[in-house]
Every structure is written in C-alpha cells, then in structure tokens.
Amino acid sequence: MFSSGMEPDIKKYLLRILNSMSVIVLWMMINATLGIYLGWAMIDDKLRLINIIFYAWLLGSFIFLVYYLFRKWKL
C-alpha cells in the first residue's frame, strides 16, 4: 500500500525547524514591540529605570531562548 504522507522522521525534523523559527520570531516581535514601539530601548537624555528593566528583560529572555533551543535540538 502507498503512504501519501511524509516519512515520520522528516516530519518531526521539519516541525522542529518550524517550531524553532516560530519561537525566535515571536521573541523578536515581543522585544521589538517593547523596545521600539513603546520606546523602552531608546535612551534619550539619560538612562531611565524602564531602560534598565527592558535591557535586563532582553538579556534574560535571550538566555532563556538559547537554553530552550539547545534543549529542543539537544546540542
């Protein structure tokens, strides 16, 4: 009998790629919205508390993103 779908290993691999790309794009959209649209990344005259909080969030969420991707790909 013919199987009309993909091989299971290829499907798992492509889903893993799609999931990783989706998480990265979501992370970028969240940080771009907070940083650029709300202006939290912009240091105008002086450094404000919201700038420090944003950059701490950016660094912490990036570390978590890398940790998540390493666990996802088991490198």
Per-block mean pLDDT, blocks of 10 residues, the chain (75 long): 72 94 98 96 94 97 97 86
In contact, 27 and 34? CB cutoff 8 Å: no
Write down the pLDDT at residue 65: 98
Alpha helices in 1-75 (DSSP H): 8-32, 49-73
Burial environment of residue 40 by CB neighbours within 10 A (0 to 12, 13 to 18, 19 or more): buried
pLDDT of residue 1: 54
Whether 23 and 65 have beta carbons less than 8 Å apart is answered as yes
Reading the block at residue 67, the tokens are 């940790």
CA distance 23 to 21: 6
